[in-house]
Amino acid sequence: MKTKHTQTVTQNEGTNISKERHLGKLDRLAEEIYTLVHGALKDGVLGGILCGHEDEIRQDAILLVLDWLMRESAECHVTGNKRAKGPWNLSRLVAKALRFCKLRARRHLTTETIRYESLNEFNGGSSVHHTDLEPWEWSTAIRRQMALSALRNAVRSGRLSASNACVARQILSGRMSVEDVATRLKVTGNAIYQRLNRIRRILPDVIAEIEVPFF
């Protein structure tokens, strides 16, 4: 005969398994996107200013596709509009994300090339100094950009999964609340907070490696 304690423990275990199953779907989706992105953009195929930046572009594309899918599902949940889903749609999203990330990377690298000029004996050169502000003095915009950059770097360096980064990006950017993400993934808000707490433990070290942006 099961005691009340045993029944409660069994129910809790069942709830935890259900949470992990739904959160695991996002992890599996991230793995599927990872495979498609790496198949579409291999090392050494980009030339010019993008040469050697394949991995960076791939990671950004993975996060972008996850962002799109998360937002699309949230809209469908609110409006009741069911859109066709399938492997061909995911492949198209990956191709679109890669094109966008290549353009963004080219624009960023071009800007950086113009921004920094080598010092030599014929010119005074130019330099960009770090801000003198302490982290607690940063504006909200700087904090948000630093955190978003840290999430991308953490995924690239293998310190954070793309699925966890996606969850954090949705909340950090203000696109979705914790409750919205929990509803989308069919888990409790506490399950999302647990993921966010794991991310918070990683970000400080990653942020320390990033240059403070100028506005």
**40: closest CA among 60, 53, 58, 66?**
58
Report yes or no on 129 lying in a domain.
no
- Burial class, 78, CB count within 10 angstroms (exposed 0-12 / middle 13-18 / buried 19+): exposed
Question: For residues 70 and 163, what is the distance between their CA atoms, to the nearest angstrom?
Answer: 10
Question: For residues 34 and 62, what is the distance between their CA atoms, to the nearest angstrom?
Answer: 6
Report yes or no on 59 lying in a domain.
yes
Instruction: Tell me if 167 sits within 8 A of 180, measured CB to CB.
Output: no
Report yes or no on 124 lying in a domain.
no
Report yes or no on 212 lying in a domain.
no
Q: What is the pLDDT of residue 212?
A: 65
Task: Print pLDDT tens along the chain (215 aa).
Answer: 545 544 444 444 444 445 455 567 888 889 999 999 999 999 999 999 999 999 989 999 999 999 888 877 544 433 344 554 444 588 999 999 999 999 999 988 887 655 555 555 555 554 444 455 666 677 777 788 888 888 988 998 889 999 899 999 989 888 889 999 888 888 889 999 999 998 999 988 888 887 765 54
Report yes or no on 148 lying in a domain.
yes
Adjacent-strand bridge partners of 55:
none
Please name the residue that has the structure tokens 């999430």.
Answer: 151
Report yes or no on 74 lying in a domain.
yes
Tell me which residue range forms the domain holding 74: 20-115+134-207
Q: What is the pLDDT of residue 6?
A: 47
Report yes or no on 156 lying in a domain.
yes
* Contacts for 54 with CB less than 8 Å, ≥ 6 apart: 41, 42, 43, 44, 45, 46
> Around 117, how many Cα atoms within 13 Å sit in the side-chain half-sphere?
9
**130: closest CA among 119, 146, 113?**
146
Counted domains in the chain:
1
Please name the residue that has the structure tokens 């999964």.
Answer: 161
Q: What is the pLDDT of residue 173?
A: 82
Report yes or no on 14 lying in a domain.
no
**63: closest CA among 183, 182, 157, 170?**
170
**77: closest CA among 190, 186, 184?**
184
Please name the residue that has the structure tokens 């966008």.
Answer: 100
